[in-house]
Amino acid sequence: MKNLRHDPTLIIFGLLLLLGLTSPLPSPGEDAVLEATRSEFQKIPIWVMDFPTVKRDNALPKGAPQTVVNVLKADLNRSQVFSVADMPGDQGGFSENKCVSLPPSLASQYQKVTVSTWGRMGVGGTASGVQGLIFDACAFDPGHQDVLTGKRYFSLKATDSLVRLMAHRWADELVYRYTGEQGIARTKIAFVGEKGSGRELFVMDYDGYDAQQVTADGYLNLMPTWSPDRKSLVYTAYRDRKQQVMRRELGTGKEEILVAPASLNITPNFSPNGKFLAYSSAQEGNSDIFQIELDTRTIKQLTSHDSADLSPSWSPDGRQLAFTSDRGGRPQIYLMNADGTNSRRLTFDGDYNAAPAWSPKGDWIIYVCRIPSEGFKLCKISPDGEHRSQITTGQSIDDSPSWAPNGRHIVFSSIRRGESQLYIITVDGKGLEKISTMGSHLSSPSWSPFQP
């Protein structure tokens, strides 16, 4: 089997299927298996080929070809696995099947990229005669003139959101082929947005598009968190000056109260197996960490301290919890076992460290830190406390970090130029990008698990 791990001659291009072109994609062979090591990983240069200028199919959403190209480029760059390279000006001279060869005019440019991708899109039928939107895509190695892999995506409907979804799926496929890990292009982000006098929950694509309102009751709905199966959101709802923890099924809209109203019920967080929910509640004046078993509704108190204990976050193995406490006089990050035993302080640098979020990989805990002369930023610390560093910098107030399921990207809210918007960044502090496109008072982002 050909080893492509260090092969510098791959390319990738993206293109839409034209109506009537139904020739099947070549099937990738075993030698098209792509590998990558994360320890010494360099971004893979990639071409995303433009679509040809053709007469528009009225059944396709307007601008669909360019939408796929733009979305695919953004997804690949955002993945931090690929680096989209500029295309040469002349992309003409293709053979009829562009997954077989590239035009001679590009031969001298092959050394600039490692892989190239393209596809074709249109409205057509399946073997059973069902009509719908079809997107064929392939990855090509120009140096060896080899097809690496190909995929066909089909949808009964042809809408802008489904066109974007097809591009996201292909981007995730390419990430998986090179890393063996799932891509994040099809993940979602829940958040809180201002709507009239209330605060409502919304869900959007990970890149900020297609925001959909989830709640619409005019009350304060805050701090959403995803269930591990991605089917529901749990959040804090303010009703009659009291707070209750509620669950809302995204598919049906069904709501139920998980934790009865009290003066304080906030920061809910699912255990990795989805069986428990940790949250902060004030039963006798000060706030403590509690745990509810969702099947039996059995509630267990995990901390009992005169200080404020808030913001529990589970370790990926479900054995520990990180949380915020001011029991030492200032807000700091603490760890404890999932049953409430063995509580110990984790952060010692700075006078304010709060809102911990444990990486899905288990290697880092991110949190809000106060940096002299900079204010509230995002920092990270290893669970053993040995390694700590600052992630965000500059003139901003950063808050509410949440991990992407790949453990490498983070979404957070940030006040910059007077507006609270949502941004993403890598755990190494790279790729800062504003993703929110609506409103100016957005907060409490929560990144979804992977697509089931």
- The pLDDT value recorded for residue 20 is 27
Q: Greater confidence, 14 or 105?
A: 105
Give the whole-number percent of the chain exceeding pLDDT 90: 62
d(CA 369, CA 353): 5
Contacts of 144 (CB under 8 A, 6+ apart): 2, 9
Rounded to an integer, the average pLDDT of 425-448 is: 95
Please tell me the total number of residues recorded for the chain in this structure. Answer: 452
* Residue 14 or residue 357, greater confidence: 357
Q: Indicate the pLDDT class of residue 442, thresholds 50, 70 and 90.
A: very high
Lowest mean pLDDT among 128-142, 236-250, 354-368: 128-142
Lowest-confidence segment of 36-45, 71-80, 323-332 by average pLDDT:
36-45
pLDDT at 16: 29
Positions of CATH 2.120.10.30 in the chain: 188-447
E strands within 32-144? 44-48, 82-84, 115-125, 131-141
List the CATH code of the domain at 188-447. Answer: 2.120.10.30
What's the pTM? 0.87
Q: Are 450 and 182 in contact (CB under 8 A)?
A: yes
pLDDT above 70 coverage of the chain, percent = 79
Which ranges in the chain are annotated with CATH 3.40.50.10070? 11-179
The more confidently predicted of residues 78 and 452 is 78
Beta strands in 251-374 (DSSP E): 255-262, 265-270, 276-284, 286-293, 298-301, 309-314, 320-325, 332-337, 344-345, 353-358, 365-371
pLDDT tops 50 at residue 424? yes
Structure confidence by residue, pLDDT tens digits, 374-417:
999 999 999 999 999 999 999 999 999 999 999 999 999 999 98
Band of the pLDDT at 26, cuts 50, 70, 90? Answer: very low
Span 306-358, pLDDT tens digits: 899 999 999 999 999 999 999 999 999 999 999 999 999 999 999 999 999 99
Please check the confidence at residue 263 and state whether its pLDDT lies above 50. yes
Spell out the residues 6+ positions from residue 82 whose beta carbon is closer than 8 angstroms to its own. 12, 43, 44, 45, 46, 76, 115, 174, 175, 178
256 or 11: which leads in pLDDT: 256
Q: What are phi and psi of 154, to 5 degrees?
A: -130, 140
Let me know if domain 11-179 sits in CATH 3.40.50.10070.
yes
**Better-predicted residue by pLDDT, 335 or 92:** 335
Using 50, 70 and 90 to split pLDDT, how confident is the model at 188?
very high
CA angle 374, 379, 380 (to 5 degrees): 165
More confident residue, 378 or 88: 378
Mean pLDDT computed over every residue of the chain:
84
Looking at residue 106, what is its pLDDT? 58
The predicted pLDDT at position 283 comes to 76
Q: Is the pLDDT of residue 196 over 90?
A: no
Nearest to 280 by CA among 254, 256, 308, 260: 308
pLDDT given for residue 41 in this prediction: 63
* pLDDT given for residue 7 in this prediction: 33
Sign of CA dihedral 429, 434, 439, 440: positive
The rounded distance, in Å, linking the Cα atoms of 1 and 79 is 27
Lowest mean pLDDT among 237-246, 313-322, 399-408, 418-427: 237-246
Q: What is the pLDDT of residue 98?
A: 54
